[in-house]
Structure 1
């Protein structure tokens, strides 16, 4: 069934449960994209046409129920020989599982659960639907705590069909009502009887009737009185016990008349004024029988002695009367009455004597407690408390149970004579295994070896440390190699793994002063190499600042203690041309304020860099701009007025030489976007130069040729002025 689609809509995902009549699967409603529960009729019933008709009819009746405590039925269908019902899917657990793990439950919680079940039954009974199979297995508890009753209609269809065909009953014998066990028609009060048993089990942790066979349990429902819940669990309030005892009365006339009446009792039974109310009393059926056997006191011989003198005096009085009295009628019933009383007394004495003898001769029988899964000492104590003897023998357990754990017992869930001997089969413990040698293995290989021994990954603790060994190599282990361990599920393994040599990110020393760079190396646990500082001229960094670091660049991983070499700027190269140029600054419109921004590109700045910004410029004025040119790099000054380029001024190396020799300098200027040849300014290799000036620059002495990227390098004059590995020298 897994993976099959029913009705072209419900995809079967996995099996989640099953019972005697159907199997329950978790499915996906493809149309609405929600999870549903799909109950599929077992194959042995699919060819019984009468049963199928009842199954559909009852399922449709159950679908009419709409209540927050009832599992909703969405759809009923048939595909080939598969009959199915689609129901609401509940994320949670069953009341049966809750009882197994937590019983006895808190009184408040048990009453709250019972109240929700009773509310669901009241709704069903008003819709003429009797559940007939109320038990913890059919009670679902969602993750939000809401109780949901399931299997409405199915139990009725099964029971009705089975009784009709075979005369037997189908259901859970431990939760049968007496009328259900007898095979007589069941009604609303049968569901309330089963609910009383569910409450009994929630609050005591055990069922009220146990037996060696289903028949014996059914007979107990008919014949035996239930043990009072407060004797099993003294914490149960008397008011709650009264609810259970009334729900579990064998006579339907003494039970609650309806689920609504029982719900009202449940809602008030925990109120302070009711918790210690008197215990409920029920009139025994035997007391209503006038012909029942009675025990009467024995008759004494002198009890009926007649005083003859009194009788003679009475006769004399009668003679003195004027009118003769009528003849006296003899009391013929006296003698038979005396005989009957004597016989009853004799029979009562005999009955009493037989009871005394039977009590002395009859051997007491007790329930055998289930001790599987307990330690041997605890199991023996439980059997001793139950007036039973025990013996044990060690066996090998395939489930690898811990040593001295009881894995089987000779008798369970049945009654035996007091003093009977119960044999316990005790686990001798799992076979011991040796811990393998994991040192020098890679972590992945070591983990695989441990998993092959049955050790769960959660029991493997890995501690990583910086070491000289290669990364991911195991350097030590606990337990040690060849050490024995018994239970792979319980052993904890600790592995110390190398992370390799510790490394740190290389700090960025470019642009730092020599002292700053030395301090940063010291803080980061790095060393300055011996004779590790060299000096070079540089356009990019001012004198005394770092222009390069070796052998690690910024953010490279470097081991602590590594020696680093620094290259420090000694200032501008000899051929560098620092100079000051006066340029005109004027507003966009004379008399009105403008903002003027100066951008500079020269030998020290490869891209336009903001040099100065002037605000509120209302008239033309001159501004001194300091810059640096080189034989292979001119300077370009951009003048922006109100964010619009107003002027481009180019300063060449020739201008520097002229200024140095005392000659006046007139930098070439141009206006942007005037067309080719319109300004006398051209762009060559990213450097702005006046047209025709390259042949006049002294740095381009005959052998000069342009360097890669469009800059000119004077022949033999600036061979060291190149950019290598991000370091300008």
Structure 2
């Protein structure tokens, strides 16, 4: 059963107990994510209608009750031939375990436990439910101190007729009442008698009645007085002993009349004014017909006169009495001898010898049927799934280990092997979701294999599975392979600035990237010559890019914009004092860049600096000359100066001065090439 899921929601985790009728397992309610207890009818009773009826009656009895001291029933179900009850799971131990470990218990602890049991019985009796099997094994002690009554397996409605017994009595012989032992109706007062025995055992550490056989114990319940608890444990207060003795009266009419009455007594028995109350006296058992009686002997000297007077008549009667008995005795002897002779003569032909049922479990079906046939027995085959037994082999038989008449039919439960499951579809689900579903279906961790690979699906999504959805599989042998997406594969964006389009495409291909034709944009540029890439968007060099990205944009230069001119200025610079070093720094602002440092140099004599500049109608060129960090000259050259130079090529135009006056001698200006383009570049910089 371990690992199975009942009703699609109760996962069996571990076995925690069992009785003659059922086994109890700890389980997890998958839907509500809580621990529950699942009671499962033993397999040998699944075809016994009486046991199934009793099992269902337990669920009905307990489900009718709602009380903090009664174990709650959550669900009842059946899966194939498995009948089960789902109930509240109580963390702790049974009262039987506590008695074995600590008995005799402290009086206060025993009274506390007995009061909660009595409270539960009061609720059950008020709902017309008689438990009929109160014993320490059926009392659960939670870790929070709460006492829970469970196992209503032989409970019945108080208004219903008693169950017909055929040579058997339901219940535990050490705890049931005298009327229970007689086989008569067990009512609410019978539960109180059993509770008295439980309280006796908690306080003394022993049972009030014991014997070599259940019958001897039952007779003691009927005939013998219980040993007073205070003789076993002198620490028991008289008030508590009175409760035990009253609850255990053999005559039900002299016990507590209700669980409420007993509960009131339990709640006050430890008060100081009651601890040393007088011992209760009982005289009800004098009229008990089950009690062993002493018959006084007849004295030989009694009524001698009357005996002497009747001698003549007695002698006369004695002479006539022997005739009839003698005749009947003779007739009876003749009949007995005749019957004995007849039986001996016919014994061989009438009485059939019993045969032993061979054990055929774990054998192939054909071999098992052959062995039964040799023993003159028939077989009836029932197939069921069993992962622990090979297909075609006998799981169990009913009955076994006994003798029967030839021709008896033995039930053989034969394995169909492992029940094949149908694989669910997990593609498109997250790996965690698929993993949890597989584990909840009973598979083990080592049966699930994961492989990761790049894909267009979100990271962590199952993109492949084996076996495929709806494929049958053996849950004991299958290996599930799940392929999980790592997301899109990424690459580092290469530096494409200054590359031709052919060179850039080759670099992108090497990085498993590509650019769409519509994302190649041609525009004028001051930065790069015609045919070279001057910008890339939105990914800069070194950025991570998903392979297959479709948003890579490349800007290709078509040359300088229209109405732009390029010149080279020859600018002289001198030190502060001839022969002594000065630091000269030249900063240029033009159509290509703003405040771009052209040169920084230490000079001891005048030097000429050739400075390339670009001007447009909207953007003149400005040259600033610093010496020892002090601005000594600023020169401005406009687009008009450029056009003038174009119309007078032999002349040497002079740039418009600004700031401080230029040093002696005007700088020379030489014209450069100019480029044409339909529109300005989207980016600047020198």
**TM-score above 0.5:** no
What range describes the TM-score normalised by the shorter chain of this pair?
0.3 to 0.5
TM-score by length of 1: 0.42
